Amino acid sequence: MLPGWDAIITYNFDDLMGEALDEAGLARAAYAMRADELAGDPNTLAREQGQHALHQGIYHVHGYTPRRLFRITHVRFVFSTSQYECTYGGSRAGIVGEVFARWLANPVHHALYVGCSFADEEMNRLLRDAAKVLPGRYHYALLKWPGSCRHSEASAMELALASAPYLSMGVRPLWFDDFGEIAGLIRRLA
């Protein structure tokens, strides 16, 4: 059984989300740019089931480095906005185009953002562009509540103010107070 979401899109380089899916016994594949093409790294279960079987995709937009021995010679890494511009040149090619076309601007798919700071203005622009194409349709993001009290104790106005920048990009925040809550939030989404 697959989780209840279509894609995991992360700006993190590590494969911690993939490792968690491995422990849960799910077929999954990590995707990142290798040279000029989108390349996948399926786990053992996904390889055994074959490339046409269902698996959970994890898209590492800014590069990918699992803990195991893995050749990263041609993996594209992005560490800054200027490097993003050099790497992608303002085009929607490769992984950026894949993410935009398949999830951000596709009415039947929704993305769950995990480990994303939303500090990358170029990626936020893609989200805003998709929100213009599909107004009222939202993706989701697990975000640590920034307020001084617990998010469950925040006023409606505090919640609205904290959520507004994300909602304007077509992302609905799923607030949590402690990182230990994430597993339960993900279970409820599955």
Write out pLDDT tens, residues 130-161: 999 999 989 889 999 998 899 999 999 999 99
Report the C-alpha gap between 186 and 8 in whole angstroms. 11
State the alpha helices, DSSP H only, in 13-119: 16-23, 44-49, 81-88, 94-99
Is 153 inside any structural domain?
no
Domain that holds residue 117: 7-137
What is the tally of structural domains in the chain? 1
The arithmetic mean of pLDDT across residues 40-56, rounded, is 89
* Three-state DSSP class for residue 57: strand
Q: What pTM was estimated for this model as a whole?
A: 0.75
Is 184 inside any structural domain?
no
The arithmetic mean of pLDDT across residues 55-70, rounded, is 86
Is 166 inside any structural domain?
no
Report the C-alpha gap between 189 and 183 in whole angstroms. 10
Report the C-alpha gap between 20 and 87 in whole angstroms. 29
pLDDT reported for residue 190: 63
Q: What percent of the chain has pLDDT over 90?
A: 38
